[in-house]
Amino acid sequence: MDFTFLFIIIIMLLAVKNDLNMVAVGLFALLLFTSNNKFLLAASFIGFGLLVAVGWMNLGNYFSWVVLGSLFIVMLLLAVKDVGKPAYGGGGGMG
């Protein structure tokens, strides 16, 4: 699982909460340029949606649920990407 994307999305949230909007947009651009498949691209856009929800919408009492739900969706997308891969390095060996 590529936890780097999830970590960068969390850093984007912290940047928006501290009024560092340009840093958050820069991190989103980084996510877009480094995504190499459709699941990471979808995770990037969900992260941007979360960024918009946190930064510019007044969510009131639902803020925590929106953040947790969106991060869970991103985590599921990242987990689905890894379903077909073996847990080990595969190939090679002594035998």
User: In this structure, is residue 93 part of a structural domain?
Assistant: no
User: In this structure, is residue 43 part of a structural domain?
Assistant: yes
Tokens of 66: 């929106």
Q: How far apart are CA 67 and CA 47, in angstroms?
A: 10
Domain count, the chain: 1
If you average pLDDT over every residue of the chain, what do you get? Answer: 74
pLDDT over threshold 80, residue 22: yes
Give me the mean pLDDT over the 21-39 stretch.
Answer: 84
Look up tokens 């909007």; give the residue. 21
User: In this structure, is residue 20 part of a structural domain?
Assistant: yes
Contacts of 59 (CB under 8 A, 6+ apart): 53, 66
Q: Which of 52, 66, 16 is nearest to 44 (CA)?
A: 52
User: In this structure, is residue 29 part of a structural domain?
Assistant: yes
Residues 16/70, Cβ–Cβ less than 8 Å: no
Q: Which of 5, 7, 2, 10 is nearest to 50 (CA)?
A: 10
**What is the model's pLDDT at position 2?**
67
User: In this structure, is residue 86 part of a structural domain?
Assistant: no
User: In this structure, is residue 47 part of a structural domain?
Assistant: yes
Task: Please state whether the predicted TM-score (pTM) of the whole model is above 0.75.
Answer: no
pLDDT over threshold 60, residue 68: yes
Domain encompassing residue 11: 3-81
User: In this structure, is residue 87 part of a structural domain?
Assistant: no
User: In this structure, is residue 9 part of a structural domain?
Assistant: yes
